[in-house]
Amino acid sequence: MSGKVCAMGGKVAKIAIDGTSSGVLFDYAVPDSLADKCGIGFRVRVEFGRRKATGYVVDMAEAAEAPRTADGKPPRKLKPIEGVDGDRSVILPPLMRLARWMARYYIAPIERCVQTLLPSPVRSGRSREVVRLYVEAVEGAKDDALTPRQKTLLADIARVGGGWLQQVVAEFKCTPDTLRRLEKAGVVTIEARERRRDPFAGRRVVPSKPLPLNDEQKAALDLVLSGNAGDAKAPPKPVLLFGVTGSGKTEVYLQSIAAMLAQGRGAIVLVPEIALTPQTVQRFASRFGESIAVLHSALSDGERFDEWRRIREGKARVVVGPRSAVFAPVENLGLIVVDEEHEPSYKQDESPRYNARDVAVMRAHLEGASIILGSATPSLESWNNAQIGKYVLARLSRRAAADACMPLVHIIDMRREVAETGKGGLFSRALMDAIHDRLSRGEQTLLFLNRRGYATSLVCQSCGYVATCDACEIPFTYHKRDDCLRCHICGTWRHVPAVCPSCGEPGCKCLGTGTQRIEEIVSKCFPHARVARMDADSTSRKFSHDDILGDFKAGRTDILIGTQMIAKGLHFPNVTLAGIMMADSSLRIPDFRAGERTFQLLAQVSGRTGRGAIAGEVFVQTFSPEHPAVQMARTENFADFAKGELASRRELGYPPFSHLARIALHGPDEGDVASLLGRIAAAIRAKAPKDVRISDVVPSSLAKACDQYRYEIIMRAPSVARMEPAITSAISSVRVPDRMRLAIDIDAISVC
């Protein structure tokens, strides 16, 4: 364990052992035979207890003379490292520094933080490079001795520039023996080459050139490239690129990256959703070609391994992906772009519970890189940082296309609609008329509802029984396509009962609305329209995001219905109408960020329309038309919305005027969970400074999930440093049984 230093000379490696979560680094002696082959970030093999284990070198130290033990005996010598995997580090030293910062800031075991830096196929060692035989024509070789058939085959191979042996055999209807005879004749070569598992193989990419920038875009680009015109020795300040939807933020990203590549530096581009990755990769690949790599969880293990290795070897200098891409092993990093920086999907929900946006800011600081945080609706944390000078603000106040203008937004009061029609329809008459108009003109429509499934509950009209998941104690969602009830928390499903399980009466009714029901209504009302749905249910297979969006972009879909997957980052010039169903549903969530999220969602969905020559329209259907978040989203008046929201947050002491931590305990016995968390809370109160606010122990908003009862406390403080010692001390003083799980969420983005 750390601190047990051997008396011999040489070096000591401080190692995070795979499979542990104690938060302790273990000391191992570095044998002389490995002294030149081992360093920070290397994966090593060691003896750990009675088993063989792998680990990662987090730090190196010089061995020092160790004091004798308390009983006067000489100190026990350290075990030596038994072997080193590979001839280079798998984790770059700056990334290892980042892991150590994450462990401190997010109060997470260092082993977990180190493991988070690596994709699972790299960490597990299950994936390896694929080697295949490659056939290539020898330029200028004489073919006089070849038969006519061999000459034709040679010409075909030369025409296509060569290929993998199996592909050549299949395409040109030959045999491996025929190719071997050509090799013996000296007209082709057959050699073993590594074959890349390309996640976008077969996808056609049309090269593009930089677009002319308007004055605001030029100013933003200059701000990024000049390092904010600050102290050349200090790391550049983050640039908050605040631009209305369609203002050309992506072009600023592209030209900033091009400038970094010209300097021999690399770049990382973070996007909030896997759904955005294909379109983003297409745009960046069209500009940078083979320099692009993509990292995300939807790739196969082999694809992720190959992409990660291309980055580590410097073959790919621009990385695109969701939050885990922030750890891509890009050497000489020059720029990080965090697109849609306000998105909550940048927050990891497992230990370490990091926010990729904040980790990106820290990584840029550690490596002296520039960072752009882009959004039309910034998080209030980033906006406040720009107001106080911690970040630099760059504004794009108008749409980039000369003929594009902001959409016309209609607020539809559904209370009046219900009063006039006598029924609570899902579609207002105005929206239905607008959809019909777009179909007649050959234009496209987006319909947004942030609930998947067909109905949100199954209710007995006789006794009031609600079909509920026993493990999570929340209503099942009805999925009509599968004709089953599903729990969206634990994934449990069951058949729809023919009669009420409680009273035995038939005729249970589906209540509430999801995207499947919207799809059904639209298909019935507009039978000739080509309708598609994009949500977690319709995008479960590989490349489904790309296929759905590809059909929409090509005009093979007239109406696209979706959840938040369609709410951001997408650019389709023929979309001239957006309908937002149940726009105020997010306002009913008991969370201090409810208004902020509602504004962001409405503004982002509205921004998908009118991005071409034809003006766009948006219909926002709501039962709360007077709410400031709804009214200000109408004109994307973010500055005024932020002013009012920040005033309220300051008065209540909520972020960004404090840091919020959520400590939750989950377990199978409710009483034990509440009791143990109460002891932890008492220990924290005993150590915490007076300016740290600590709530009572209360059930979480989702009080039970996956047969686990959930209790929590909420802490607020001026800084994480004010909370960390008390939390660390309390946790170390209380043993959490194996049947329970403690979760520490620093800078929690939700309290519900």
Q: Taking 50 as the threshold, does the pLDDT of residue 298 lie above it?
A: yes
Domain membership of residue 466 (yes or no) is no
User: Binning pLDDT at 50, 70 and 90, where does residue 8 land?
Assistant: very low
pLDDT in tens, 157-214: 998 888 889 889 998 999 999 999 999 999 999 998 877 777 766 566 778 889 999 9
Q: Taking 70 as the threshold, does the pLDDT of residue 65 lie above it?
A: no
Report the pLDDT value the prediction gives residue 3, as an integer from 0 to 100: 39
Which sign does the torsion angle of CA 565, 569, 570, 572 carry? positive
- Any residues with CB less than 8 A from the CB of 469 and at least 6 apart, and which? 475, 476, 487, 489, 490, 492
Are 418 and 288 in a shared domain?
Answer: no
Are 246 and 363 in a shared domain?
Answer: yes
pLDDT in tens, 409-454: 999 999 888 888 777 678 999 999 999 999 999 999 999 998 999 9
Are 286 and 331 in a shared domain?
Answer: yes
Distances (CA, A) of 206 to 213, 279, 285, 377: 21, 13, 9, 31
Domain membership of residue 482 (yes or no) is no
**Closest to 339 in 3D by CA, of 214, 236, 215, 241:** 241
Domain membership of residue 121 (yes or no) is no
Domain membership of residue 500 (yes or no) is no
CA 537/CA 544 separation, integer angstroms: 10
Q: What is the mean pLDDT of residues 685-709?
A: 94
Are 627 and 668 in a shared domain?
Answer: no
**CATH code of the domain covering residue 76:** 3.40.1440.60
Domain membership of residue 111 (yes or no) is no
Cβ-contact 162, 136 below 8 angstroms: yes
Report the pLDDT value the prediction gives residue 202, as an integer from 0 to 100: 59
Are 625 and 678 in a shared domain?
Answer: no
Report the pLDDT value the prediction gives residue 75, as an integer from 0 to 100: 54
Domain end among 142, 164, 195: 195
Cβ-contact 166, 193 below 8 angstroms: no
Q: Taking 90 as the threshold, does the pLDDT of residue 617 lie above it?
A: yes
Q: Which residue has the tokens 């726009």?
A: 583
Q: Taking 60 as the threshold, does the pLDDT of residue 638 lie above it?
A: yes
Through-space distance between the first and last CA atoms of the chain, rounded to whole angstroms: 40
Are 161 and 283 in a shared domain?
Answer: no
User: Binning pLDDT at 50, 70 and 90, where does residue 573 land?
Assistant: confident
Q: Which residue has the tokens 């709360």?
A: 624
Report the domain count for the chain: 5
Domain end among 163, 195, 227: 195
Above pLDDT 70, what percent of the chain? 94
Domain membership of residue 350 (yes or no) is yes
Are 613 and 579 in a shared domain?
Answer: yes
Cβ-contact 256, 228 below 8 angstroms: no
Are 429 and 572 in a shared domain?
Answer: yes
Q: Taking 80 as the threshold, does the pLDDT of residue 702 lie above it?
A: yes
Lowest mean pLDDT among 387-396, 502-511, 718-727: 502-511
CA 674/CA 678 separation, integer angstroms: 6
**CATH code of the domain covering residue 740:** 3.30.70.600
Full-model pTM: 0.87
Are 740 and 677 in a shared domain?
Answer: yes
- Any residues with CB less than 8 A from the CB of 124 and at least 6 apart, and which? none
Q: Taking 80 as the threshold, does the pLDDT of residue 302 lie above it?
A: yes
pLDDT in tens, 528-538: 999 999 998 88
Report the pLDDT value the prediction gives residue 6, as an integer from 0 to 100: 45
Report the pLDDT value the prediction gives residue 2, as an integer from 0 to 100: 42
Are 418 and 391 in a shared domain?
Answer: no
Q: Where are the beta strands (DSSP E) in 550-649?
A: 559-562, 575-580, 617-622
Secondary structure (3-state) at 442:
coil
User: Binning pLDDT at 50, 70 and 90, where does residue 71 land?
Assistant: low
Q: What is the mean pLDDT of residues 587-604?
A: 89
CA 751/CA 728 separation, integer angstroms: 21
Domain end among 648, 677, 701: 648
- Contacts by residues 602-605 (CB-CB < 8 Å, ≥ 24 positions apart): 602/629, 602/630, 602/633, 603/245, 603/376, 603/377, 603/633, 603/636, 603/638, 604/245, 604/340, 604/376, 604/377, 604/567, 604/568, 605/446, 605/448, 605/566, 605/567, 605/578, 605/580
Are 594 and 742 in a shared domain?
Answer: no
pLDDT in tens, 378-406: 999 999 999 999 999 999 988 877 777 88
Please give the residue range of the domain that contains residue 73.
11-89
Cβ-contact 154, 137 below 8 angstroms: yes
Domain membership of residue 480 (yes or no) is no
CA 353/CA 420 separation, integer angstroms: 49
Q: What is the mean pLDDT of residues 19-23?
A: 84
Are 420 and 567 in a shared domain?
Answer: yes
Report the pLDDT value the prediction gives residue 239, as an integer from 0 to 100: 97
pLDDT in tens, 647-679: 999 999 999 999 999 999 999 999 999 999 999
**CATH code of the domain covering residue 535:** 3.40.50.300
Token pair in block for residue 702: 């989702």
Domain membership of residue 554 (yes or no) is yes
